[in-house]
Structure 1
Amino acid sequence: MLNSTTTVESKKILIIEDEGDICLLLNIMLKKDEIDLEHVRSLAAAKEYLAEEKPHLILLDNKLPDGFGVDFINYIRSNHPDIKILMISGFHASAVKDVALFAGADGFLEKPFSREQVYSSVQALLN
């Protein structure tokens, strides 16, 4: 039972996505008091963020301006092995899914996705 002095730990999610519309959509779908959302638009910005912060979960787009998300999974696993990764792609999704899961992603969402798909995938990885 929570009392007035008990606080619920916020779960931090990093969204690595260069498309503003997709990022806005993910923010709307996941906006909850117990979820703290951050957003970067490139792999370089993600590396900078991860040097300072430790999210519980990364929503990782595949096609980014400075590389492919599937190639970034190895960096995350090598440097931050306890962070969960949910890969997101619409670009040859079936081929990307196999590579992403083999590289160490914890889950995969194909664009376009529904609110229910995003929310249930995120909740499964945060719990």
Structure 2
Amino acid sequence: MLNTKLPPAQTKKIFIVEDEGDMCLLLNIMLQEKSIELEHVKTIAAAQEYLKKEEPSVIILDNKLPDGLGVDFISYIKQNHPDVKVVMISGYTPEAKDIALENGADLFLEKPFTREQLYSSIKELLN
């Protein structure tokens, strides 16, 4: 059995940028741990406002958002918050994965993914 418990001392805040309510609820359920603080917005503009005030440990970023593509937002995150880890989540297309990684995403998760995949990905980024 894979140990998927996230290290509480290293996990401060996970910021989710996802516009689909069902996916956001699923992410919240998957990440519901006492040691994880979760915040959520639905647009790139709201994410930019949030990042002016906060510095999360990890950003879980959807690609198709109402006001743009997450892959295009990665470079903004990395330029302004170089220590923040970015996990791009999207339906798999080779182009989206390649662009996300080229733009600085630390990881790409194809939808649908399991709780174990999500936990192990975040744990890997925080170690």
TM-score, structure 2 normalization: 0.90
Matching of residue 40 in structure 1 with residue 41 in structure 2: yes
CA offset digits 1:65-122 (Å, max 9, x no partner): 00000000010011111100000001x5321111101110000100011111111111
CA distance in 2 between counterparts of 1:10 and 1:124 reads 12
Q: Assess if the C-alpha contact under 8 Å between 1:17 and 1:61 holds in 2.
A: yes
2:105 aligned with 1:105: yes
The runs of 5 or more residues in structure 2 that have no matched partner are 1-7
- C-alpha deviations, 1:30-77, integer Å up to 9, x for none? 111111010000000000000011100000000000000000001001
Is 41-50 or 114-123 further displaced after alignment?
Answer: 114-123
Read off the aligned partner of 1:42 and give its amino acid letter: T
- The alignment's TM-score, normalised by the length of structure 1, stands at 0.90
Query: Is 1:30 matched with 2:31?
Result: yes
- The percent of aligned pairs where both chains have the same amino acid is 64
Aligned residues: 120
Q: Distance in 1 between matches of 2:112 and 2:95?
A: 16
Shift of 1:10: 4.9
The structure number with the bigger radius of gyration is 1
Asked whether the 8 Å contact 2:41–2:47 carries over to 1, the reply is yes
Q: Does 1:120 align with 2:115?
A: no
Give 1:20 shift: 0.6
CA spacing shift, 1:54–1:8, aligned 2, 3 Å: same
SS in 1 for 2:60: strand
SS state of the match for residue 81, structure 1?
coil
Give the conservation status (yes or no) of the 8 Å contact 1:13–1:55: yes
Unaligned runs of 5+ in 1: 1-6
- Displacement of 1:9 in angstroms is 6.3
Query: Tell me, what secondary structure is at the counterpart of 1:22?
Result: helix
Measured in 2, the distance between the counterparts of 1:88 and 1:26 equals 11
Counterpart check, 1:81 vs 2:121 = no
Q: Whole-Å Cα distance in 2 between the matches of residues 122 and 94 of structure 1?
A: 22
